[in-house]
């Protein structure tokens, strides 16, 4: 008890000293994020086809901490009006959500037919958002690719690339008049490395093939948007890229290089081709010097010309940090992790959470924004995900602390470092099906009662905090905001 009290005083002082008193710039936009599979439910209703996540959670329940699935999830398919009321209450400028590809195209391809009920669901939702004056940020694919991708070796061949482009064209045609920001795919690095791994036959090679095809799909969709839609629809298009911050654990050359390598493998892997037209040299070199040196696919000259400069802004998902040392045994195997060649440790001052990858290290936000700016030029950066996990509480003071300190770090990047950060979205609007942790890990501003058929939503304390930040555009004196729905 005594320890807890001392800790909380320490926390208060530390927070009070570090929170920026600057105002968010007038055109800075705020949002909240979700994804289709994680919230919608209705997995087999109204004509929806099966997705990879349906298949994964039904076929490999042991890979999910609580053996759960998203069959019902938050039931947002039936509760969209309530979700929009929550968005209105928060006062967000935009809502980031994803389309379920197999709800719109049950087989994944146009030839398999368009599911009108699915189209209506998203179309009505966009109308409601418009009426509420909330901009839409739409992700085309947030992990839940149609089941056909499993049979066809996912993205390891180019066979399905055209299917993705056709789906994008359909989405632009159907919804593009009401969408301000498009994201082609969520976290291609994480998707290629983690979500797909169950389906790989040769992990050390397939991981690179998957990302390679996704990069080409993204570029094809970017050009399609430019050619056929941008003029009338005027949206912005990007791809949501994730990275942690990697801090060298010491001043040694090896550790500094290890940290840079980690950033290049996680972020540069996708960002470099889409901005400069090819994989980072550091990455090429690391794989070329591994026991199996030819695993990274090579872009042709024409492909390089096509893929480069295909993001309108940088969309960043950032949550956590690691201390990084060089792995002396990095050359012994042909896996993605050995290719990066780092060992990760934690700074003891970082608060840990119930997930082993998420630590509260707000300075990492400012550092990663600086690194992106230094490496990729002064492109606008929109933070499309950042958030805190707990095991279930309405008094989520630690989430408030996380949001406040990370947002303060964003203000420092804007005002002290002059980085062009244009917006921020927190993960997530509400508790949802958290991938491999199921319902045991909760990221929501709103609590969802998953044991009740009505899936009631209840505001946590962080709702009041975030709402006040959005209203005041300021971080100080918002901690005990209270008064929420
Ligand atoms: C993913 C989300 C996920 C969140 C928290 C992000 O990497 O885009 O789908 O729920 O992290 O783990």
Supply the residue whose CA is at minimum distance from atom 10 of ligand 1.
Answer: 434
Six-digit token string for 431? 């508790």
Q: What is the maximum span of the chain, computed from C-alpha positions, in angstroms? A: 66
Q: How much distance in Å is there from the Cα of 308 to the middle of ligand 1?
A: 26
- Phi first, then psi: what are they for 23, rounded to 5°? -95, 145
For 400-438, what is each residue's pLDDT tens digit? 999 999 999 999 999 999 999 999 999 999 999 999 999
- Supply the pLDDT for residue 121: 98
Give 384's DSSP letter. E
pLDDT at residue 149 in the model:
86
Contacts of 53 (CB under 8 A, 6+ apart): 37, 70, 143, 144
In this prediction, residue 480 carries a pLDDT of 53
Contact 10, 349 (CB under 8 A): no
Report the candidate in 152, 284, 125, 306 with the shortest Cα–Cα distance to residue 220.
Answer: 306
Q: pLDDT, tens digit, for every residue of 309-324?
A: 999 999 999 999 999 9
The pTM score is 0.95
Detail the DSSP E strand segments found in 36-134.
Answer: 94-98
How far away, in angstroms, is 171 Cα from ligand 1 center? 23
- CB of 149 sitting under 6 A from ligand 1: no
CA distance 207 to 101: 22
Q: Relative to the CA of 355, which ligand 1 atom is closest?
A: 12
Residue 443 Cβ < 6 Å to ligand 1: yes
Using CA positions, which residue lies closest to atom 12 of ligand 1?
434
CB-based contact 214:191 (threshold 8 Å): yes
Burial code (b: 16+ CB inside 10 Å, e: under 16) for 365-402 equals: bbbbbbbbbebbeebbbbbbbbbbbbeeeeebbbbbbb
Question: Which residues, other chains included, contact 265 with Cβ-Cβ below 8 Å and sequence gap of 6+?
Answer: 283, 286, 336, 339, 340
Does the Cβ of 37 fall within 6 Å of ligand 1? no
User: Which atom of ligand 1 is least distant from the CA of 437?
Assistant: 12
DSSP letter string over 351-383? EE-SSTT-EE-THHHHHHHHHHHHHH-S--EEE
Is ligand 1 within 6 A of the CB of residue 187?
Answer: yes
Ligand 1 near 249 CB (within 6 A): no
Task: From residue 434, give the alpha-carbon distance in Å to each of 67, 316, 427.
Answer: 12, 19, 11
Q: Round to whole Å and give the CA distance between 134 and 18.
A: 31
Distance 300 CA to ligand 1 centre (A): 33
Residue 162 alpha carbon to ligand 1 centre in Å: 27
Q: What is the pLDDT of residues 248-279, one digit of tens each?
A: 999 999 999 999 999 999 999 999 999 999 99
DSSP 211-260: HHHHHHHHHHHHHHIIIIIHHHH--EEEEEEE--EEEESSSSHHHHHHHH
Return the pLDDT at 481: 47
For residue 71, what pLDDT is reported?
98
Q: Which two tokens stand for residue 9?
A: 């005083």
Q: Which two tokens stand for residue 79?
A: 């509760």
Q: Catalytic site residues?
A: 187, 385
| Ligand 1 pocket mutation, candidates 74, 385, 433, criterion most atoms within 8 A of CB | 385
Name the least confident of 2-16, 102-116, 171-185, 241-255. 2-16
Q: How far is the CA of 451 from the centre of ligand 1 (A)?
A: 22
Looking at 428-475, which runs of residues are DSSP E strands?
446-448, 457-459
Q: Is the CB of 435 under 6 A from ligand 1?
A: yes
Per-residue pLDDT tens digits for 310-364: 999 999 999 999 999 999 888 888 899 999 999 999 999 999 999 999 999 999 9
- What atom of ligand 1 comes closest to residue 434's alpha carbon? 10
Q: Is 186 in the pocket of ligand 1 (CB under 6 A)?
A: yes
Output the CA 441–ligand 1 centroid distance in Å: 11
Indicate the class that CATH gives domain 2-472.
alpha beta
Residue nearest (by alpha carbon) to ligand 1 atom 3: 434
Q: Where are the domains of the chain?
A: 2-472
């Amino acid at each position: 008890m005594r320890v807890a009290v001392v800790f909380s005083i320490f926390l208060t002082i530390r927070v009070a000293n570090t929170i920026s008193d600057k105002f968010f710039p007038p055109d800075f936009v705020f949002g909240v994020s979700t994804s289709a599979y994680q919230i919608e439910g209705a997995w087999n209703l109204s004509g929806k086809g099966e997705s990879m996540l349906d298949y994964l959670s039904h076929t490999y329940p042991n890979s999910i901490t609580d053996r759960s699935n998203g069959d019902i999830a938050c039931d947002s398919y039936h509760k969209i009006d309530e979700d929009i009321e929550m968005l209105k209450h928060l006062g967000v400028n935009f809502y980031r959500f994803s389309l379920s590809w197999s709800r719109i195209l049950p087989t994944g391809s146009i030839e398999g037919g368009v599911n009108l009920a699915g189209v209506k669901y998203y179309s009505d939702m966009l109308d409601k958002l418009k009426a509420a004056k909330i901009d839409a940020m739409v992700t085309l694919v947030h992990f839940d690719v149609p089941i056909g991708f499993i049979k066809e070796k996912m993205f390891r061949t180019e066979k399905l690339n055209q299917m993705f482009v056709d789906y994008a064209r359909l989405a632009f045609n159907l919804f593009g008049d009401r969408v301000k920001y498009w994201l082609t795919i969520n976290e291609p690095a994480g998707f290629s490395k983690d979500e797909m791994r169950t389906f790989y036959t040769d992990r050390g090679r397939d991981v690179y093939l998957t990302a390679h095809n996704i990069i080409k799909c993204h570029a094809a969709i970017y050009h399609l948007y430019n050619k056929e839609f941008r003029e009338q629809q005027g949206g912005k298009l990007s791809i949501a890229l994730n990275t942690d911050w990697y801090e060298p654990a010491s001043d040694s050359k090896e550790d500094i290089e290890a940290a840079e390598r980690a950033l290049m493998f996680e972020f540069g892997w996708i960002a470099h081709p889409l901005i400069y037209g090819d994989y980072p040299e550091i990455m090429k070199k690391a794989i070329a010097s591994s026991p199996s040196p030819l695993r990274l696919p090579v872009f042709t000259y024409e492909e390089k010309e096509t893929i480069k400069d295909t993001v309108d802004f940088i969309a960043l998902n950032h949550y956590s940090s690691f201390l990084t040392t060089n792995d002396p045994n990095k050359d012994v195997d042909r896996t993605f992790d050995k290719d990066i060649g780092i060992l990760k440790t934690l700074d003891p001052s970082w608060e840990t959470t119930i997930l082993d990858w998420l630590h509260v290290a707000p300075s990492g936000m400012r550092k990663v924004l600086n690194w992106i700016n230094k490496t990729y030029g002064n492109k606008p950066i929109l933070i499309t995900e950042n958030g805190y996990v707990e095991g279930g509480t309405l008094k989520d003071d630690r989430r408030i602390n996380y949001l406040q300190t990370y947002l303060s770090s964003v203000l420092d990047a804007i005002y002290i470092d002059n980085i062009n950060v244009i917006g921020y979205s927190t993960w997530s609007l509400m508790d949802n099906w958290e991938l491999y942790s199921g319902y045991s890990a909760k990221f929501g501003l709103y609590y969802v009662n998953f044991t009740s058929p009505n899936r009631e939503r209840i505001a946590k304390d962080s709702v009041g905090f975030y709402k006040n930040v959005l209203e005041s555009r300021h971080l100080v004196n918002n901690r005990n905001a209270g008064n929420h729905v």
